[in-house]
Every structure is written in structure tokens, then in C-alpha cells.
Structure 1
Amino acid sequence: MSIWQRLGEIICSIPGTCTLIDHIVDAVRATFGTASERRHASFSISMIALAAKMAKADGVVTGDEIRAFEQLFEIPDNERKNVARLFNLAKQDIGGFDAYARRIRGLFDDGDPIFEDIVDGLFHIAKADGMVHEDELAFLARVGTEFGMTEAAFQRIADRHIVPEEGDPYAILGIDRSASNDDVKKHYRRIVAQTHPDKLIARGVPAEFIAIATAKLAALNGAYDRIRQERAFA
């Protein structure tokens, strides 16, 4: 039985009204035998629930936001109903988003690049209706705080999503403007390598979630090209 099929069984067993995080933790422990499976399952369910709360942060969940959420997960067709059920339950859940953010943080070491991956995914949902609303940005900043991210690290992610072609390309890449051409090249190659789907999977991101790498790479490539043009180096 695939991990999504077992996740589907957990979701089907969730009561109509409950604090989801408590039910989920117990069910994952009882259902998945290995630490790797539990990590994958806990991440996937927590991320789905957090995405639902992100979509509702501005008070309205739009069709564009639902579609953006679906782009982040390659969910088997026969499990879409179960994922939709969890998404809808999370929107109504009395538990705060901070419980889900802390659950995800507890799965990984402090400073793990996966926290940036998650916030990237949430920004993808937030901007799906054409803009990142003030309440959504505040929500994302608080999630970043729960993940232990610095203000500079969060701003770097925000710059990649909020009109990246007009943002500071050095901030988007996360490198100082005074860096040499060689240092810029080395830094760019390093962060692009970290964003490769194989790297994401290796650090614990489920294979279904790697769609976020495409948009992130596009923003990084755009920023690097602007720096190259500014400095006129090959």
C-alpha cells in the first residue's frame, strides 16, 4: 500500500470536528512503521493543513489558490477526495496554524533548508490570486518566525515572489552587493544545486512536493541574469 493510500485512511478517520494535529500525530505513529515514512507522512499532512490555513489568511479561499495548492502536490486521482477533506477540515479547525508550523519544525533540524522550501510553497499559494495580501504576508512572516527564520532570510524569500523582476537581485540571491564576480558565481551555483529536485528529496521533501523548485529556480536565474548584465561578466 502506498504512502498516499495510508494517508487517505488516516484522513478518512478524522472526526468532523476535532483539533486535527492531535489526531494526526497519534494516527501517523500507529500507521507508519519506519522513521522515514513517519517523517514523510507528518510533513505531507502538516503541509496540507498549513496550506489550507494560508489560503484562508485573507478571509477568502479562491479557486486560483486551490489550484495553486494542487500544483504543489502530485496527488493520485483516487486520493484527491481525501486530501480535499483534510484541506477543508483544516480551514475550519479550531487549532491555530502555529501548531502545524511547530509540528513541521520538529521534524527537521534548526536551519534546515526545508523551511525555506515550505515558505516558498506557501507564497506560491498566497500570490495565486494576483497579489500577496497584507494578512497573508503577516501570516507568512509568523510562520517564518515559528520556523526560526531570521527576518533577512524571510525577506529574501518574499523578494523572490513579490514582483521579483523589480526587487533587488542581490537580496533575491542572498548575497552582498560587494561580493566579487567569482563569489557571485560560486554562490549562485551552490544555491541552484541546493534547489535541484534530487537535493530536495534527499533532505526530506516528499517527491510530490518538488514542484516548488521550478518557480524558485526561475526567480534565482532571473536575479543572476540581472547581476550578470549589470556587471557584464559571462
Structure 2
Amino acid sequence: MSWLGKMIGGTIGLALGGPLGAVAGAAFGHAFVDKREDDYLRSIPGGKRTDLSSNEEAQLVFFTAAFSMLAKISKADGRISEEEIKVVERFMVNDLQLDEASRQTAQNIFRNAVTSSQTFEDFAQQFYSVFKYQANIIELMLDVLLRVSSADGNVSAIEEQMLLSASRIFRFSQSDYNRLHSRYVKKSDPYYAVLKCDENASNEEIKKKYRTLVQEYHPDKIQAKGLPEEFIKFATDKFTEIQDAYENIRKRRGF
């Protein structure tokens, strides 16, 4: 049983704290998030429970943080439009290929985060506290936020402010943020942006960067670091983009 199945079934003993814990508790309808452990155990027939592993806990944090932050970005201008809802739903279906149960869970988290008194920065801070030593997971999260925010072809000024706030919390350099940003809001060659290289980089620099990235973003390696299985397709697509970008530049340069 995956972490999501355990959460839906109410068979876990996890008490996830902070703003993400509050949203997760409301989304899953688990009153035990704020209950004493002995009260929780008495609520389960036979007093048995199935704890999440540390990796599953990380997956819960990533999943909850992603849809909580997307909710706050969608409400950045004070209301959520039908188009913004459709953008998030398309992301769930097309980019993540979530099944019905996972999609319903994501929608519950999204709705509860929208009305939460916690801020976008609160969610970002808690996410960063869990993944601060895993730069590739942090970049995947920022990639998610940028991809969905720019899906309608435009990133508003207030959305841009929130994305920049996330990049600062995530300790992202301005140059790295600009490169990632340019993949979705085109200002430079997107192939070089994917490889995190400037267009004047040497062939050897490009080869070295490519080898590093394919190792860091291999889906198996990413999943082992706490990426939810529901986001593995997204990671796989990123891995494919890295390969495609390298091949395009390699052919263009003739090496």
C-alpha cells in the first residue's frame, strides 16, 4: 500500500505538523492529526497502525506542498478563475496522469489550502525544511510551480512575485531561476536553459553539465529521495527534456 492509500484508509500513525499538516489533516478528514497517540490508537480496531516510512513522509510533504502552493498562486489576485482551475486539472491529468483517487486527494488539498490562513511562504518554508539538502527535488518543485503558473501563456506580476519568493526561500540563485523561468516564459534558447548552460558555454562544459543532470534527474534516483510516485511521470518528462536538449545542441554544434 502506498503512502496515499494509507492516508485515504486512515491507517497511519503520522502526525504531520505545521501548515502542511493542517492542510493534510483537513483534506484527508483525519482528526487524529491533532490527537494524542493513545487516543488515535484506540480509534483503530485492534489498536494497530501502519506508519509511513521516512521516504513516504517526504512524499506526503511534496504532494501536499505542491498543491497547497499552487492553490495560493491561483488565488494570488483574490479569486480563482475557471481557467485557473482547468489549468491545475490539466496538470493533474496530463502531466501527472493521476488516477481518480489521487486526483480527488489533490483537489481536496487544493481546496483546503485556498481557504487556509497560512500563506504561500509558510508552505514553501516547511517544504524547504524537509528537502533543503536535495537540490534536484527543490528544483522539481519550482519547475512544477512555473509550469502551471505559465500554462495560460502568461505569468502575472503578483504570480511572479510569489515565484521569486519561493526561489529565495529555496535558496535558488537568480541566474538559476532565470534559466528555469526562460523554459516557460521564453527569453532565451530553451535548450540551453534546460541544461543550465549559457549559449556561449564550450562543448566540454555542455557535455559535463549533461552527464551531471542525467545522473541527478534519473527517475529512479529521484523517487528514492522522496518524490511521490504520482510525480514520477513529471520527473521522467524532465529527464527526457534534458536528453532532447542535449541532442538538439549537439547536432546544432556538430560534436
CA distance in 1, matches of 2:168, 2:101: 36
The normalised TM-score by structure 2 is 0.73
TM-fit CA distance, 1:138:
2.2
Q: How many residues align?
A: 224
Show CA shifts across 1:83-127 (max 9, x none): 322211111222101111111111123462111000111122112
Alpha carbons 2:19, 2:122 under 8 Å: kept: no
CA distance in 1, matches of 2:186, 2:200: 23
TM-fit CA distance, 1:224:
2.8
**1:205 matches 2:230:** no
CA distance in 2, matches of 1:101, 1:94: 14
**1:120 matches 2:120:** no
CA distance in 1, matches of 2:158, 2:57: 32
CA distance in 2, matches of 1:72, 1:20: 26
Say which of 180, 196, 200 aligns to 1:174. 196
The normalised TM-score by structure 1 is 0.79
CA distance in 1, matches of 2:153, 2:193: 22
Alpha carbons 2:132, 2:170 under 8 Å: kept: no
Say which of 58, 70, 90 aligns to 1:39. 58
Matched AA of 2:206: V
**1:88 matches 2:111:** yes
2:213 aligned partner: 191
| Shift in alpha-carbon separation, 1:168–1:75, aligned structure 2, 3 A | closer
| Shift in alpha-carbon separation, 1:56–1:66, aligned structure 2, 3 A | farther
2:20 aligned partner: 21
Gaps of 5+ in 2: 11-17, 26-31, 38-49
Matched AA of 1:52: A
Determine helix, strand or coil for the equivalent of 1:86: helix
Matched AA of 1:195: Y
CA distance in 1, matches of 2:93, 2:34: 22
Matched AA of 1:198: D
TM-fit CA distance, 1:217:
3.9
Say which of 64, 74, 97 aligns to 2:120. 97
Matched AA of 1:3: W
CA distance in 2, matches of 1:67, 1:81: 13
CA distance in 1, matches of 2:240, 2:34: 35
Say which of 124, 132, 136 aligns to 1:109. 132
Matched AA of 1:21: L
CA distance in 2, matches of 1:223, 1:2: 33
Give the fraction of aligned pairs with identical amino acids, expressed as a percent. 27
Matched AA of 1:126: S
| Shift in alpha-carbon separation, 1:197–1:139, aligned structure 2, 3 A | same
Gaps of 5+ in 1: 11-18
Alpha carbons 1:64, 1:128 under 8 Å: kept: yes
CA distance in 1, matches of 2:102, 2:206: 44
**1:137 matches 2:143:** no
Q: Tell me the C-alpha RMSD between the 2 structures.
A: 3.1
| Shift in alpha-carbon separation, 1:194–1:2, aligned structure 2, 3 A | closer
CA distance in 2, matches of 1:138, 1:219: 27
CA distance in 2, matches of 1:92, 1:158: 28
Alpha carbons 1:69, 1:125 under 8 Å: kept: no
Show CA shifts across 1:173-214 (max 9, x none): 223555432332232132123222112112221111122224
Determine helix, strand or coil for the equivalent of 2:150: helix
Matched AA of 2:72: K
| Shift in alpha-carbon separation, 1:202–1:5, aligned structure 2, 3 A | closer
Higher Cα Rg: structure 1 or 2?
Answer: 2
CA distance in 1, matches of 2:64, 2:112: 12
